[in-house]
């Protein structure tokens, strides 16, 4: 992959816009025609050239080309959110009477899509422990049309064997969809491992600056084109040209940002793992990870996200740690420049009363782009503050 060519040049027709280095922002909903003949001729190309921006917008088209190339795909679509992208892809692959297999504990709104929305339309599902290829295989039925994966999982970071599941699904004629947000296209390329469709929340690494919400899909033309002509156009979760432009800008530094988040991520994971107030750390590239070999075989990097289970006797101790952190912001989301924590105890009224499937001593931590020493020092003082 010629990474810098994709990021710096691909899809940018500079001679069409005054040789400007940065592409113009086509902030237009609409594109006009000089004659009836020209308009008549445009209809059949509605999905290929600018007509109305819910479908094709030139600024968004540049981004589509870059995302497709980064994932090694024939085509890509850009949506107004990652959830919108995932919902469109899932809905394109199931109808009433079909069955889908999904990895257990996926991103919360993927989970709700399957359990709450699809079940209302007669789509059956089985949630399985994704660490076991055998469990995934055993869940497949006659009417299974889709296997939905998320590797690593976005709360506790267990992996699925993408090559094995891809091969298994191809043999049975089942479509596979992977949420690849954790790794970005730089550190995991599922299509090359036999997966059919890749989804990302572009709100995370792809845009990288915590200033917009967006999503993408990438895959073969045969899969992406029907999604565009149906779910993409009817649900209308299209991205605003301004947000697409910001993602183009974010992509320019994606390799540098991924490198920094990864080196900080590993340093923080190794530091926390040896600390007496930490029970366990889940980070794909820690040698203690039971799936370390699999992680190394299908990912080229592990970014900044991890799960940390504190050794604490009470929620209050966890709160002392969280509230003492000065350089980690407390928030959802991740993948930006800033380090973050998401304390699961925020879903608990007390140790015995919670609405999360995860335990109250779990903290999801994202190491951002700060200096490594700054992050380690902040964690050290916050762990001491636990008492």
Ligand X SMILES: *Cc1c(COP(=O)(O)O)cnc(C)c1O
**Measured distance CA(44)–CA(325) in Å, rounded:** 57
Closest CA to 7 of 189, 204, 186, 191: 186
Closest residue by Cα to residue 162 from 126, 128, 198: 198
Question: For residue 302, with 0-12 CB atoms within 10 Å meaning exposed, 13-18 middle and 19 or more buried, which class applies?
Answer: buried
Stretch that binds ligand X, among 64-72, 200-208, 241-249, 321-329 (CB under 6 A): 200-208
Tell me if residue 281 falls in helix, strand or coil. strand
Tell me, by CB under 6 A, how many residues bind ligand X. 13
By beta-carbon proximity to ligand X, the closer residue of 177 and 379 is: 177
First to last CA, the chain: 50
CB 111 to ligand X: min, Å: 10
Residues between 3 and 62 that touch ligand X (CB under 6 A) = none
For ligand X, the closer of residues 51 and 344 by Cβ is 344
> Min. distance of Cβ 30 from ligand X in angstroms?
26
Q: In this structure, what token pair is assigned to residue 167? A: 């091969």
Query: By C-beta, is 285 or 334 nearer to ligand X?
Result: 334
Q: Provide the minimum distance between the beta carbon of 112 and ligand X in the complex, in angstroms, as a whole number.
A: 11
Stretch that binds ligand X, among 16-24, 77-85, 222-230, 243-251 (CB under 6 A): 77-85
If one counts every other C-beta atom within 10 angstroms of the C-beta of residue 129, the result is 14
Q: Which residue has the tokens 């890749």?
A: 198
Alpha-carbon distance 307 to 282, whole Å?
5
Residues 55 and 238: their CA atoms lie apart, in Å, by 8
Task: Tell me the window of 9-17, 65-73, 75-83, 157-165 that interacts with ligand X (CB under 6 A).
Answer: 75-83
**What values do phi and psi take at 210, rounded to 5?**
50, 40
> Nearest-CB residue to ligand X?
82
Q: How far is the CB of 212 from ligand X (least distance, A)?
A: 9
Considering only residues 213-242, where is the footprint of ligand X by CB under 6 A?
Answer: 213, 215
Among 55, 47, 10, which residue's Cα sits nearest to residue 29? 55
User: Rule CB under 6 A: which of 136-195 touch ligand X?
Assistant: 150, 154, 179, 181
Q: For ligand X, which residue of 144, 201, 207, 361 counts as binding (CB under 6 A)?
A: 201
Under rule CB under 6 A, residue 298 binds ligand X: no
Minimum CB–partner distance for residue 213 and ligand X (Å): 5
Min dist CB 82 to ligand X, Å, is: 2
CB nearer to ligand X: pick between 68 and 213: 213
Contact, 236 vs 70, CB < 8 A?
no
Identify which of residues 278 and 341 has a Cβ nearer to ligand X in the complex. 341
Mention every residue, 6+ apart, whose C-beta is less than 8 A from residue 279: 309, 310, 311, 361
Pick from 160, 203, 262, 361 the residue near ligand X by CB under 6 A. Answer: 203
CB of residue 60 to ligand X, shortest distance in Å: 16
Nearer residue to ligand X within complex by CB, 153 or 312: 153
| C-alpha to C-alpha distance for 210 and 106, rounded to whole angstroms | 22
Looking at beta carbons only, is 115 or 221 nearer to ligand X? 115
Q: Does 81 bind ligand X (CB under 6 A)?
A: yes
Q: Which of 59, 89, 107, 307 lies at the binding interface for ligand X (CB under 6 A)? A: 107
C-beta of residue 336 within 8 angstroms of C-beta of residue 181: no
Q: How far is the CB of 321 from ligand X (least distance, A)?
A: 23
Is 284 a residue that touches ligand X (CB under 6 A)? no
β-bridge partners, 205: none
Minimum gap (Å) between residue 150 Cβ and ligand X? 6
Instruction: Find out whether 92 and 116 touch, Cβ atoms under 8 Å.
Output: no
φ, ψ of residue 176 in degrees (nearest 5): -115, 140
Question: What is the SS3 assignment for 280?
Answer: strand
Q: Which residue, among 233, 232, 194, 195, has the nearest Cα to 215 in the 3D structure? A: 232
Tell me which residues touch ligand X (CB under 6 A). 81-83, 107, 150, 154, 179, 181, 201, 203-204, 213, 215
């Amino acid at each position: 992959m010629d990474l810098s060519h994709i990021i710096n040049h691909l899809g940018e027709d500079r001679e069409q816009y005054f040789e400007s280095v940065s592409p113009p922002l086509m902030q237009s909903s609409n594109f006009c025609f000089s004659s009836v003949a020209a308009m008549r001729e445009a209809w059949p190309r509605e999905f290929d050239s600018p007509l109305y921006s819910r479908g094709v917008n030139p600024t968004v088209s540049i981004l589509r080309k870059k995302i497709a190339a980064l994932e090694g795909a024939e085509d890509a679509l850009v949506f107004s959110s990652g959830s919108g992208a995932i919902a469109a892809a899932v809905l394109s692959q199931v109808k009433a009477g079909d069955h889908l297999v999904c990895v257990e504990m996926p991103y919360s709104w993927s989970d709700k899509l399957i359990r709450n929305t699809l079940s209302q339309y007669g789509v059956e599902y089985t949630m399985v422990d994704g660490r076991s290829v055998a469990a995934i295989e055993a869940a497949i039925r006659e009417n299974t049309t889709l296997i939905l994966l998320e590797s690593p999982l976005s709360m506790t970071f267990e992996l699925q064997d993408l090559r094995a599941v891809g091969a298994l699904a191809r043999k049975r004629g089942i479509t596979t969809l992977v949420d690849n947000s954790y790794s970005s296209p730089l550190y995991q390329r599922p299509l090359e491992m036999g997966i059919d469709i890749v989804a990302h929340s572009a709100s995370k690494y792809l845009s990288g600056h915590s200033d917009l919400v967006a999503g993408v899909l990438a895959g073969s033309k045969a899969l992406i084109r029907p999604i565009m002509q149906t779910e993409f156009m009817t649900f209308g979760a299209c991205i605003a040209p301004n947000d697409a432009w910001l993602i183009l800008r974010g992509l320019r530094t994606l390799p540098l940002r991924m490198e920094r988040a990864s080196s900080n991520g590993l340093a923080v994971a190794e530091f926390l793992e040896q600390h007496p107030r930490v029970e366990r750390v889940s980070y794909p590239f820690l040698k203690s990870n039971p799936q370390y070999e699999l992680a190394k075989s299908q990912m080229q990097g592990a970014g900044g996200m991890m799960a940390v289970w504190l050794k604490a006797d009470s929620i209050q101790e966890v709160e002392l740690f969280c509230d003492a952190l000065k350089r980690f912001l407390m928030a959802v989301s991740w993948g930006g420049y800033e380090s973050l924590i998401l304390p699961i105890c925020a879903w608990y009224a007390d140790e015995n009363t919670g609405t999360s499937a995860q335990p109250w001593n779990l903290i999801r931590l994202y190491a951002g782009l700060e200096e490594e020493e700054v992050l380690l020092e902040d964690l050290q003082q916050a762990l001491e503050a636990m008492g």
